[in-house]
Structure 1
Amino acid sequence: MPSLAGAALLCTSSVFADSPRDAESTPGATFPLALPEVEASYRVVVNGIPVGLNATIRLTRDSEHYQLHFKAQNRLFRHEETALFDWSNCVAKPHHYQHESVGFGIQRGGEIDFDWDTQTAKGSKAVYPLARNALDALSVAMVSRCHMAKADQSFSFDVAEPDGMTKYQYRALDNETIKTPAGEWLASGLERDYEERGRKSRFWAAPSLEYFMIRMDHQENPFVRGRIELTEFRYLSDEDSRNPERQAGSTVSSR
């Protein structure tokens, strides 16, 4: 069922993708050096109808790397992506990326190993030279957050995919208030440009959540429009959870 597959793939051009701490902050502050560990849940709506597809974004860190994990699923369909990367002062260095979609007659997937010693991407569909500062389809969202915090009006990334390099291009949207099931947020927005006519993605991120994504709208074609919107957000570390600056206007539950 293409509409469900399209909805599940909303975050692959993510944006997801730190800064001001309160809901009234104005975008543009300096992004923190370290990414906080968080988990965010979303509901998926296709053509204005909730489809029973729930999505989760989880960002964690071990002693060596960050891991960003996106999963969207219901009883009949599952889409999953994982990225492993290093992070230093708004620079992401990916090490591995993989994705898989299963259900409704769909079974597709791919992965990439980033060999920075030889500047080579070892993709499941091709082996090719890596562009300098190349990202993957998930870590690109983290770096986008930095550009939003600086209020950059346009920017682009070289992104490695299982079959080769491509370019993601973004432009800023006007700030606005966005309503989600998790509440109302002052948000900064981005739009991703595609070569295909009629295809469009728009993202909104809340400065009070350190520019984490609260909503994404994706138009695959004139007939299929999908949206994911925040239902719950929480910090995973005890230190962040106890920090009143992080909690102010930030951690909410679905309602």
Structure 2
Amino acid sequence: MMRSTKNKVLATIRWLFTLLMSALLAPSSALADTPLTPFEATYDTRALGMSMSLSRKLGLEGDTYTLSSFGKNMLLTLKEQSSFTIEDGQVLGQRFKSESKALKTQRRAVNFDRSAGVIDSMKQGKWTQHEWQPGLLDRFSQQQQIRLTLLGSDTPPDQLAFNVVDGPKVSEKIWQRVEADPIDTPLGQLEVVSYREVHDNPKKRASRIWLAPGLQYLMVKTEHIERSSKIRVNIESLNWLE
């Protein structure tokens, strides 16, 4: 029973870690001319009395961005990395890989081959091939696309929808806007826009994110509920590497 509970907690933390992978944007008024600015950031994660510090770094070489993230505590080690370009406000994936180590090691990977017209996705050791389509994202780059979409909108839309490839599945992720008050953070008090993910069974699973328009829709807070387990994540620090 104890092992089953621990597995559920670790699975929930793995899921949230991927949700948190996001690009942070430097202030600018023209999206088409705005590259993602290299940065380092940390987030504090808390669940069931446990805590984990997530570090994230964005690098740029030529026109290719590499976003990496790392988190570790006594029970769990998590690593993710995604390479992509941006074209007309759209994330175009190149490669994605994820690894989590706890009682066992779990890996995911996605390879985008635009020239061949295919996307190869691996989950639980099994590869699946999908047809390449513009707009298809990996789990790690979804949050970056949320920010690019919001930056390209005059006002935040009431609903956001994206297609995400994960193993054998391509799923539509829908985010519904909800009202939100300003929040206090180590970066100061921030005006925020908030969205909740639309789930089939919201009583068992609920997700909500808070994004700061003044920081180009940087995600500054996240809450995720999986049955009776609740995870909270808050921004701790942010440094632009210009």
TM-score range for the pair, normalised by the shorter chain length:
0.7 to 0.9
Match of 1:128 in 2: 130
Per-residue CA deviation, residues 184-232 of structure 1 (Å, 9 max, x unaligned), is: 22111111112344211111111222211111101112x1110110111
1:142-193 residue CA offsets vs partner (Å, 9 max, x unmatched): 1101333321111211111133311111111224212234432211111111
Counterpart of 1:207, as a letter, is P
Structure 2 unmatched ranges of 5 or more: 1-5
Q: Give the match for residue 78 of structure 2.
A: 79
TM-superposed deviation, 1:64: 3.7
The letter of the residue matching 2:12 is: G
The structural deviation recorded for 1:15 is: 6.5
Q: Using the TM superposition, give the Cα deviation of residue 234 of structure 1 relative to its aligned residue in structure 2, in angstroms.
A: 0.8
Query: Which secondary structure state, in structure 1, belongs to the residue aligned with residue 62 of structure 2?
Result: coil
TM-score, with structure 2 as normaliser: 0.84
| Superposition map of 1:176-255 within 5 A | 176-197=181-202, 198-221=204-227, 223-237=228-242
In the aligned structure 2, how far is the partner of 1:116 from the partner of 1:196? Answer: 35
Aligned length: 226
Does the 8 Å CA contact 2:90/2:148 hold for their aligned counterparts? no
> How far apart, in 2, do the equivalents of 1:200 and 1:225 lie?
9
Q: 3-state SS of the aligned residue for 1:10? A: helix
Counterpart contact for 2:185–2:236, Cα < 8 Å: yes
Aligned match of 1:98:
97
RMSD: 2.2
TM-score between the two structures when normalised by the length of structure 1: 0.80
Distance 1:15 1:67, change over 3 A: closer
1:24-45 Cα deviation digits (max 9, x unpaired): xxxxx65462111111101111
Gaps of 5+ in 1: 22-28, 238-255
Distance 1:72 1:196, change over 3 A: farther
The alignment partner of 2:148 has SS state of helix
Larger relative contact order (CA 8 Å, sep ≥ 6) = 1
Q: Paired residue for 1:107?
A: 105
1:10 pairs with 2:9 = no
Provide the residue aligned with 1:248 in structure 2: none
Partner Cα distance (2:60, 2:179) in 1: 32
Q: Percent identity?
A: 20
Residue of 124, 146, 162 corresponding to 1:144: 146
